[in-house]
Amino acid sequence: MKSLAIIPDGNRRYAKKHGLPLEVAYRDGFKKVGKAMEWARDYRVESMSFWALSLENFQNRSALELRTIFSLMQKQLAEAMVKEDQVNEQQAQVKFFGRTELLPKQLRESMAALERKTEGNKKLLLNVGVAYSGQDELVRASTLLAADMKAGKVDERALASDGGKIFSNYLFTKTAPDLIIRTGDVQRLSGFLPYQSAYSEYYFSRKLWPEFTRADFAKALEYYDGTQRRFGR
């Protein structure tokens, strides 16, 4: 398997289940991302995409919860900028995608700094979706493509012959996952990478994200190994 995506659902239910403050649940969830990076490297996964925060969550969560999330993200980014951090130990190149312009300035600057710091890492590509919505991505991509066609930057004949490749250039990320794992006992994608996931396999785990283990990760990959991918054939 080359590419893997994860929808890490269940942080808030984990907090309720164990009587924990939301901050502790989200902190445990962020730590699990680091563990998943280790597991991915061990299984020779080349790229991994995480949905850290949906655009809908950004728009609908309380100000207090968003401050908690942003504070924890800022802390994680600060730790990742330390020379001996886990990101560089895993030789991971980090890229953020989504409506990042909506995020607090300090957080955006820290995200950009981490992208610059890790751009030379080649072992694992780590894509992190923040303030991301698949529907928003498709609308945005279509709008940008239409504008470029109107300006004469895109040839209609080229679009007719290879439209998929051209359209993908307007997406936040081109990475097409072989497997998408969603935790939290919810069997839907909720708009995560709708274009890129056209031929992805799906694995739904009952475990809440902070409870997800290496054994659960291995089980998901075993499931993928047992599938027969046809790519429309």
CATH, domain range 3-133+177-225: 3.40.1180.10
Most confident region among 39-43, 56-60, 177-181, 187-191 by mean pLDDT: 177-181
Higher pLDDT, 230 or 67: 67
pLDDT digits (tens, 9 = 90+) for 35-49: 999 999 999 999 999
What are the residue boundaries of the structural domains of the chain, listed by start? 3-133+177-225
Who's near 22: CB < 8 A, 6+ residues apart? 11, 12, 15, 65, 68
Which candidate in 42, 57, 162, 178 is catalytic?
Answer: 57
Confidence of residue 219 (pLDDT cuts 50, 70, 90): very high
pLDDT digits (tens, 9 = 90+) for 64-112: 999 999 999 998 888 777 655 667 667 889 999 999 999 999 999 999 9
Nearest-5° Cα angle at 58, 5 to 107:
80
Per the annotation, the verdict on 127 as an active-site residue is no
Per the annotation, the verdict on 85 as an active-site residue is no
